[in-house]
Structure 1
Amino acid sequence: MRRFSPVSRPLALCAALLVVLGLSLPAQVARAADDPGLLNVTGTAQIPAIPDMATIRIGVVTEDRRADRALAGNASQMSAVLAKLQGFDVAPRDLQTSDLSLSPVYEPGQDYRGQSRRIVAFRASNILTVRVRDLERLGEILDASVGDGANSFGGLSFGVQAPGPLETAAREAAMKDALARAETLATAAGVGLGPIRSITEQGGFRGPQMMRAEMAMADAAVPVAAGEVSMSATVSLVIELAQ
């Protein structure tokens, strides 16, 4: 039996490794040549809808020299607002209290020694989020809320009560848009489309978002325009190209 010297043994291993690599490279190149190629496309869609619900944020802010009286006054005014909203048949599930806070109010500026300002009062704040499902009464609700104690307004947005069908329609339209883009690109490149490798929904849904205000509510105490909302979807496809 032939014995390898310590010096020749590494040389034999390197030679064997080169043989293995040399035999495997042609197979790897062949597989790359057979790859049909992939096309990445993105489709978008936006489905408009008439809103049937509004969300408002109204608040009560009270001040008093004593913290307990500031809180008590705030609670009294907010109770009056809640009672008025119940008169408009706003369901309890559509009312949510948030951002209840109590903070000191300092006198303006600093004293002559640059010392911290002293507390002159306490401010209590309470925010109420209200979902209004009867848009014809939205103006009345805003007017009544302010008249019965709400003295701050945090914003108004419109939406739909059942967004599911809009989401489905947006997804379907985004998929059609992506496939149409893929067909256009493949035709221009002179190739065909093969099977879809992957489907990715990017970013979820935005909306409903306010787009434009054009539907006035003439009989409302506070003029309000509901306008139009939309649901958006984005879909990305990876499609195999047919040679």
Structure 2
Amino acid sequence: MAPAIRAGVRVTTAASIRAPQVAEHALALLLALTRRLRQAWAAQGERRWAAEAIAPAVRDLAGATAGVVAMGTIGQEIAQRLKAFGMHVLATRKDPANPYMFVDEVLAPERMHELLARSDAVIVATPRTPVTEGLITKGLLGQMKPSALLVDVSRGGVVSQGALVTALQKGKIAGAALDAFETEPLPPNSALWGLENVILTPHVASASPRYWQSATEIVCRNLARLREGRPLIDEVTPEWYGASAQR
């Protein structure tokens, strides 16, 4: 994508048609963590009634604080659903003065550490660009509460996977659910497979039976807009992609 942008080629994505599905998947992963569904599923496979083990560990979303990184199309869809569950929603955005419906507080990117420190659940929904690659580092993960949960529906490489594994193994955070990985498919020898406080899905957050029909419709609409000199749907601009894409 970066070479095309540097060459002046106009680039678009399908972000707007994927946003509802990714948001639903993010909420499904978060609920699976808070309601201990992995543990219930494991007990079901063993035909074991595990109420005494599961019930004391479940959590409520209502009244808890969620942090969304960042507030693009997908982030806004996620925030809307988090708010519907009664959560206090924080979010990061380059223009923090711009209010968003369903978001209680918008923080500038340099306050990312504050978002992680205050959140009971962090949902990473930023695209991977030269600016966001390696965004969630060991240092930022260290700002999270030991009881906090991380949900990653972004792209592999935004969250430092090695640092996340260490944080999970050492109990620095309580759990994580991931749909994006630095290497895909996730190698069989990855430590993530064996962690009991982790839920993994194979990069399917945007899956939808209507995806290709919707994507084709956007391509056709954008071809018409390009011919007419109108703004394109879901266009990736150099400003959006990051300053390094303009070099």
* Shared fold (TM-score, shorter chain, > 0.5): no
Structure with greater contact order relative to length (CA < 8 Å, sep ≥ 6): 1
- Structure with the higher fraction of residues in helix conformation: 2
TM-score (norm 2): 0.20
Normalising by structure 1, we get a TM-score of: 0.20
**Which one has the largest radius of gyration?**
1
